[in-house]
Structure 1
Amino acid sequence: MPAPGDSATHGAFQRLQKRLGAVYALNSPESTVPHVVVALPSFSVGESLLSHYRSRLAALEHRFLCSLLMLRIPTARLVYFCSAEPDAAVIDHYLALLPESLDASDRFHLVVVDDRSARPVATKLLERPDVLADVTRWIGDDPAFIEPWNVAEPEQQLALALELPINGSAPDLWPLGFKSSGRKLFRDAGVPIPPGLEDLTTVSDAVGAIEQLRTGHPDTPAVILKHDDSASGDGNAVIHTDDLEPPGALAARRRLRSRINSLEPWYLDELEKGFVAESRIVGEQFSSPSAQVEIRPDGSAVVLSTHEQILGDDGQVYLGCRFPADPSYAPELGAHALAAARVLGERGAQGRAGIDFVTARSGDEPWSTHAIEINLRKPGTTHPYTVLRHLAPGRYDVKTGCYTDDTGVSKHYVASDNLVDENWTGIPEADVIAAFGQAGISFDPTTRTGVVPHMLSCLAIDGRFGITAVGNSAAHADELQQATISAMHDLVATFS
């Protein structure tokens, strides 16, 4: 196999990827051709992001056990790679959501490398040629492709080792998702962006950029510095400017420099690798929606969904989402996301991507929408949307911003990876699933409403897990999430 990053690797990967289109097209409910999907929740991320999730990486891999629901396609088989054994009760719960007549369990092959080190599962698999040989035998002669979380060198090397195309962008395209590159791509696509500057590398650059933004936009209350190569708000720092002397004043520049230099040392080190500075968008009403797009192997693009992102108290870190986004601006989000996705496709990107926005307005003004980020990987909205599209299949209408299932019923959900309470730490996963059933909130395939849990293995780490709560209205979905929390508190009480 060629060495990572050399021209031979690039050529071999390009040849391999030419096979993707044909097998990708097979993975639909109408398919009559046997095929295999290899789910690869392999997280190749930077050290700063890894430092926040190191202890939870194996549990985060389990979020994508929702891939089991893809087995509603009768001709599909599924290989699922992960670093730690999922609880059997979780596997059984997902399979029970599918009709028994599908014999889904017979078409599922779980591969556990049993290695909880904070490395991508692709790297661990490359050290196990025996495991890869077993997977190759299980796939046999059926056409197959890899469905990854992202594609960096480890995932590319695994694709080459398995000789399977992968539904993601080549590693050399990864910089398309950097903050500076994203601002340029949005401009090329005609998508509005916040006032800002890109391709910055020093504290002096940051001070100069903030002063320039304050001069051009005097009402700017804060400027956000964003590392080029970062995700989930991890590389963002808010620099408040509303208490400073007028732009250009020496005292203002000194105070700005002091505020930036007071950031954590690791953050300042990452600034040197590249960052952007953007005016913080504000209004009496404010939201941080996103769109999820799929760039097909032929370069065409489709908008799958729009979401309202649920962010932490600082407004920067992703915690969960609501679907769909507010219909008053969801069609605009869809149009902007499609424009950006088409440019990404023209530049060779493929697979899933997320486009993040901010929207704001004051009084009766129209919403003002700006694109702020490209996630050239599966975004955090992927697994809840996977649950919906397989358990309540239907169509998201980009023009109206609404989702209707194939029986004509409108569907909504609220999803989170961060339902957490230290009192939940160590609760057995099977007990949680049983408690949801007793509370009457488990997903019901007949009504197509209810709660589907994920990441239950994180309960053993810090009392955290996630859900997708599907309802027939936004209020219904919220009620199901609150009922989930109540069911957990009731469960804790049984251990007292």
Structure 2
Amino acid sequence: MTDPAFADLQSKLRDFWPTVTLRSIGDVERTVVVVHSISFDVPDQLIPVFPAYEERFLCLVLSLLRAPRSRVVYVTSQPIHPRVLDYYFGLVPELDTPEARARFTSVSLVDGRNEPLSRKLLTRPGALRRIRSLIGDPEIAFLLPFCMTDDEVRLAVALGLPIYGSDPDLNSLGTKTGSRRIFESEGVQHPVGLEVDGERDLQRALTELNKRSPAARGAVLKLDKGVSGLGNALLDLTTLDGDVRASLRLEDQEIDVDEYLRALDGEGGIVEERIEGADFRSPSVQLRMSPAGQVDIMSTHDQILGGAHGQTYFGCHFPADQEYAALIAAEALKVGRRLAREGAIGRASVDFAAVNEGGWRSYALEINLRCGGTTHPLFALTALTDG
């Protein structure tokens, strides 16, 4: 951790960790500042939906029911439509009171530029002063982000708040290559595969993959920092004749092969056997790591995939099928314990492929060291049911 001020702020999390929850916390005064900023590179087609992404944690208004002395300060680029707030407050009629609404404050930058919210906020000293004034001096206050980058570190320091997330120095653990290394070292079953150092290394990697897994019929090439499956490309190993470019089937239909391979040259990636079967599922496990190193299994989900080649995350339902939920939870726990030893704090998830081969087998695919598409559904359910 390179910033001593940030390290000092994060040390406070240990003291009030039990109150970093959507469950009942009793008569504790708490302020949560929400900045749901997509602060990493994403495919261009996702940029227009940034405003919707920024509002995904509005389910946190439901936490006001469980914590009568809590406040939520919610920061967005553009104003939140009043009807959207009405919808969330209306989910629990007894919550929709003037007193509860008074404990929710939205702060809009009125800034529609296609830049991460955290970055825009850092250039707005007036908005930062207003947020500080809204925080006041409660017993507990912290910043809730979507992901962690240097922007979120700077924002935490600027606001003088600890943040519910890991030091961005650990972000490499959540890349495709970092995930495979952890799976290997922790004995977590995962597909046969190799790291790929750009286009020039791809043919070598595919040749080696064929040697290691001669029965594999397909392969998945993944950009190291790809999100939502849009960084994936499929390859049919049974018809591959050396012209890898012509054989690539991109999940992201908004780019061409040249653009994709330039991205591969820039960030690297992995190629691995494609796990297939008549009875195939795509489950995930959500984890939480505490500052003391405790690891909790928060949920299991079955992911809903779609897109051009069935690689894109569309949604989820939970819990995951009980036939394999315990299996993937046990494998994810190995990953969580490793992340905790590395100093990770807050949310993470592990995605799997599961196939029924006379019994369910799971294959770990990737780690997301951040909140994800399964986080806000769980937040909402936890707040509605008190866990």
Pair in the same fold by TM > 0.5:
yes
Who is 1:401 aligned against? Answer: none
Structure 1 residues 167, 243: closer, same or farther in 2, change over 3 A?
same
Confirm whether residue 266 of structure 1 aligns to residue 259 of structure 2. Answer: yes
Give the 3-state SS of the residue equivalent to 1:25 in structure 2: helix
Q: CA–CA distance in 2 between the matches of 1:298 and 1:110? A: 32
Task: Verify the 8 A CA contact 2:234 2:248 in the aligned structure 1.
Answer: no
What is the RMSD of the two structures over their aligned residues, measured on CA atoms? 1.8
TM-score for both structures, normalised by structure 2: 0.92
- Alpha-carbon distance, 1:71 to partner: 1.2
Q: 1:203 aligns with which of 199, 214, 220?
A: 199
Task: Verify the 8 A CA contact 1:24 1:145 in the aligned structure 2.
Answer: no
String of CA shifts for 1:257-308, please: whole Å, max 9, x gaps.
Answer: 5435995222111111211111001111101111111111222111111111
| More displaced 10-residue stretch of structure 1: 235-244 or 375-384 | 235-244
Task: Verify the 8 A CA contact 1:85 1:112 in the aligned structure 2.
Answer: yes
Give the 3-state SS of the residue equivalent to 2:55 in structure 1: helix
Query: Which letter maps to 2:186?
Result: A
Q: 1:255 aligns with which of 230, 233, 243?
A: 243
Who is 2:160 aligned against? Answer: 163
Confirm whether residue 152 of structure 1 aligns to residue 125 of structure 2. Answer: no
Who is 1:289 aligned against? Answer: 283
Q: CA–CA distance in 2 between the matches of 1:341 and 1:257? A: 37
- Alpha-carbon distance, 1:121 to partner: 0.9
Confirm whether residue 141 of structure 1 aligns to residue 137 of structure 2. Answer: yes
- Alpha-carbon distance, 1:337 to partner: 1.1
Confirm whether residue 369 of structure 1 aligns to residue 362 of structure 2. Answer: yes
Task: Verify the 8 A CA contact 1:203 1:261 in the aligned structure 2.
Answer: no
Query: Which letter maps to 1:259?
Result: S
String of CA shifts for 1:17-74, please: whole Å, max 9, x gaps.
Answer: 101222332244133220111111011121xx24121111112211221111121222
Give the 3-state SS of the residue equivalent to 1:79 in structure 2: strand
Structure 1 residues 23, 132: closer, same or farther in 2, change over 3 A?
farther
State the structure with bigger RCO (CA 8 A, min sep 6), 1 or 2. Answer: 2
Query: Which letter maps to 1:119?
Result: E
Q: CA–CA distance in 2 between the matches of 1:50 and 1:218? A: 33
Confirm whether residue 306 of structure 1 aligns to residue 300 of structure 2. Answer: yes
Q: CA–CA distance in 2 between the matches of 1:169 and 1:35? A: 21
Task: Verify the 8 A CA contact 2:245 2:257 in the aligned structure 1.
Answer: no
Q: CA–CA distance in 1 between the matches of 2:364 and 2:96? A: 45
Query: Which letter maps to 1:209?
Result: A
Query: Which letter maps to 2:145?
Result: P
TM-score for both structures, normalised by structure 1: 0.72
Who is 1:183 aligned against? Answer: 180
Query: Which letter maps to 2:171?
Result: W
Task: Verify the 8 A CA contact 1:203 1:260 in the aligned structure 2.
Answer: no
Who is 1:193 aligned against? Answer: 190
Aligned pair count reads: 374
Q: 2:239 aligns with which of 243, 248, 254?
A: 243
Unaligned residue ranges in structure 1 (runs of 5+): 1-6, 245-251, 395-496
Give the 3-state SS of the residue equivalent to 2:353 in structure 1: strand
Q: 1:349 aligns with which of 323, 344, 350?
A: 344
Q: 2:318 aligns with which of 291, 299, 323?
A: 323
Q: CA–CA distance in 1 between the matches of 2:180 and 2:56? A: 30
Task: Verify the 8 A CA contact 1:204 1:257 in the aligned structure 2.
Answer: no
Query: Which letter maps to 1:181?
Result: G
Larger-gyration structure (1/2): 1
Q: 1:340 aligns with which of 315, 335, 339?
A: 335
Give the 3-state SS of the residue equivalent to 2:19 in structure 1: coil
Unaligned residue ranges in structure 2 (runs of 5+): 251-255
Give the 3-state SS of the residue equivalent to 1:37 in structure 2: strand
